[in-house]
């Protein structure tokens, strides 16, 4: 249990889990290929060396142990081929083992780079989003509208900063009770702001229609005078 607790505490172990999860298909292919090579090489060496050394290469299982030793370059020396064909095959298998065991390292290395790039991109996106929200807060915190009913009078709509800032950046969201409630509050603030802007826009449109009506009446009254 202490090991599991220690494993959760380190970000490196989390990154390693992400790498294995990201590259599980590639690692699965390499594992399958390794099993196929071990079985194929053990069967081949059995037929090559069993006639010359029936006690040494006595079974496929023993030959599998020899294949693993050769592929991993352990070379214990307890099982050694003596025929020319067996030695030639052993040399080829040893060279192939070097190539085979470099593949997992390359896969894990590429996975590590991908995980780090994804985390860096996520941080950049969060920083950009925060910058945009701060800019929106500064732009809409005090928005002034001119009242056509009273020339020279302006109305200011103050949009709360919490309508744009994230919970981490807004003091009102410093300790939210629940992420869903926090999101609902933020949506409510945005909705309220939108309604305020719509009301102000409706007033502006109503005032504009009133002015247009007055202009039309004035033009209609002035036409007979001009004709006379």
Q: How confident is the model over 79-108, as a mean pLDDT?
A: 89
Q: Residue 94 falls within a domain, yes or no? A: yes
Domain assignment present for 57: yes
In a domain, 219, yes or no: no
**Residue 130: inside a domain, yes or no?**
yes
pLDDT in tens, 142-193: 554 444 455 555 555 555 555 545 454 444 444 444 556 666 676 777 778 7
Assign residue 87 the CATH number of its domain. 1.10.287.70
> Tokens in use for 159?
């949009």
Q: Is residue 195 part of a domain?
A: no
In a domain? residue 27: yes
pLDDT in tens, 104-151: 888 888 888 888 888 888 887 777 777 777 766 665 555 544 444 555
When the pLDDT of each residue in the chain is averaged and rounded to a whole number, the result is: 75
Which carries the bigger pLDDT value, residue 96 or residue 223?
A: 96
Residue ranges making up the domain that contains 106: 11-139
Q: What is the pLDDT of residue 138?
A: 60
pLDDT value at position 177?
45
Radius of gyration of the chain (CA): 39
β-sheet bridge partners, residue 154:
146
Q: What is the Cα–Cα distance from 177 to 172, expressed in whole angstroms?
A: 12
Q: Domain count for the chain, please give it.
A: 1
């Amino acid at each position: 249990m202490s090991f599991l607790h220690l494993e959760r505490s380190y970000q490196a172990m989390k990154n390693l889990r992400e790498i294995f999860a990201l590259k599980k298909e590639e690692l699965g292919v390499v594992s399958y290929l390794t099993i196929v090579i071990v079985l194929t090489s053990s069967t081949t060496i059995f037929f090559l060396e069993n006639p010359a050394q029936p006690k040494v290469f006595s079974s496929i299982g023993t030959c599998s142990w020899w294949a693993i030793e050769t592929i991993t370059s352990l070379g214990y020396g307890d099982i050694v081929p003596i025929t020319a064909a067996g030695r030639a095959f052993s040399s080829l298998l040893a060279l192939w083992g070097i190539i085979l065991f470099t593949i997992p390292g390359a896969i894990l290395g590429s996975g590590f780079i991908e995980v780090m790039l994804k985390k860096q991109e996520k941080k950049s996106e969060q920083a950009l989003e925060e910058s945009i929200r701060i800019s929106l807060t500064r732009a809409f915190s005090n928005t002034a509208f001119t009242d056509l009913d009273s020339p020279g009078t302006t109305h200011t709509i103050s949009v709360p900063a919490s309508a744009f800032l994230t919970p981490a950046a807004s003091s009102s969201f410093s300790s939210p009770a629940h992420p869903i409630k926090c999101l609902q509050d933020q949506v409510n603030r945005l909705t309220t702001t939108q309604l305020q802007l719509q009301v102000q826009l409706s007033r502006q449109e109503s005032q504009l229609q009133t002015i247009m009506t007055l202009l039309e009446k004035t033009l209609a009254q002035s036409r007979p005078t001009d004709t006379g």
